Amino acid sequence: MSEIVLRADGLAKTFRLGFLRKRIEAVREATFDVQRGEIFGYLGPNGSGKTTTLKMLMGLVFPTRGRAEVLGRPVPNREAKRRLGYLPESPYFYEYLAPEEFLDLVGALCDVPRAIRRERAAKLIARVGLEQARGRPLRKFSKGMLQRIGIAQALMGDPELVVLDEPMTGLDPLGRKEIRDLMLELRREGRTVVYSTHILPDVEMTCDRVAMIFAGRIRSVGPLAELLTARLLSTEVCLSPGAGTLPPLPAGATTRQSPDGLLVDLPEGTDVDACLRAVLAGGCHVLSVTPRRESLEDLFLRQAAEKGAA
């Protein structure tokens, strides 16, 4: 049984807005655990409650219901915060500071001794690729650069657990790859990474486990592979009819022409073996057979649709 480093237990937050105290249920029910050493993705469309959940875990917002635990301690706890790094959503930092001044301040707040601060700040600035921006005030930073210095400041306290709220937004594809690589590196160093995003391909490339939240309610939590391979959507067979004749296809199959050949899409539940035998017996060539499993995007869309129907 691995150690749980972050726990949301029935977290809920209702905001009261305006004069009429209109209720906004930003988070209705968030329950998940993050285990030590994994990269955990927190997925959901915009406005589904990701940021609010993370803020409750970081002690910025008090939950209306439920419990938040960081590194085994109820939030807020200074001892736990010492071993935690956090990047807020669309971060904004003291614009009058240069990166090394800012990191030095953060280091001081994290109780890092002065001698270590300078060295660590220089290393982190290099690590997030901001060496050429040293000495420049943060006011002059682009959104992507702010995101990078934000990640550097989250690492300034040498944390065991790193929580990043939408670390990829504002970055170009290259920058996103660098952040993905950085997260994998952090995991190799034995740190736990939790990040929220609505960009799915990034998740498929990095996350060990994910939680998906729709309209404030978590729909599924688990290893990505388990959530996805549960469903085989269809099997795609690519044929070259050649001199042969195409046998009658099973019910529900669709065909379409492609540059490679004829694409036959066999729905879930079709006897693929029998179909292939018939095709070969007819004298056609089989070029490829591809099982189409559910992609993260399919799952995401399905759950969003279920949510809409409910």
Q: Which residues bind ligand ADP (CB under 6 A)?
A: 15, 17, 24, 26, 44, 46-52
Partner interacting with residue 48 (select from Mg ion, other proteins, ligand ADP, none; CB below 5-8 Å by kind): ligand ADP
Shortest distance, position 49 Cβ to ligand ADP, whole Å: 4
Q: Residue 97 CB, nearest distance to ligand ADP (Å)?
A: 27
Q: Which stretch binds other proteins (CB under 8 A): 30-38, 100-108, 236-244, 277-285?
A: 100-108
Short-list 42, 58, 61, CA closest to 50: 42
CB 196 within 8 A of CB 50: yes
Binders of other proteins among residues 4 to 23 (CB under 8 A) are 15
Q: In whole angstroms, how far apart are CA 221 and each of 1, 14, 175, 192? A: 17, 23, 28, 17
**281 touches other proteins (CB under 8 A):** no
What is the footprint of Mg ion within residues 46-75 (CB under 5 A)? 50-51
Q: In the bound complex, what is the minimum distance in angstroms from residue 32's beta carbon to ligand ADP? A: 14
Could you tell me the smallest distance in angstroms from the CB atom of residue 149 to other proteins? 10
- Side-chain-facing half-sphere of 203: CA atoms under 13 Å: 28
235 strand-pairing partners: 266, 291
Three-state secondary-structure class, residue 10: strand
Answer positive or negative: Cα dihedral of 140, 143, 145, 147. positive
In this structure, what DSSP letter does residue 156 have?
A: T
Instruction: By CB under 8 A, name the binding residues for other proteins.
Output: 15, 52, 55, 58-62, 78-79, 81-82, 84, 86, 88, 91-97, 101, 105-106, 108-111, 150, 153, 157
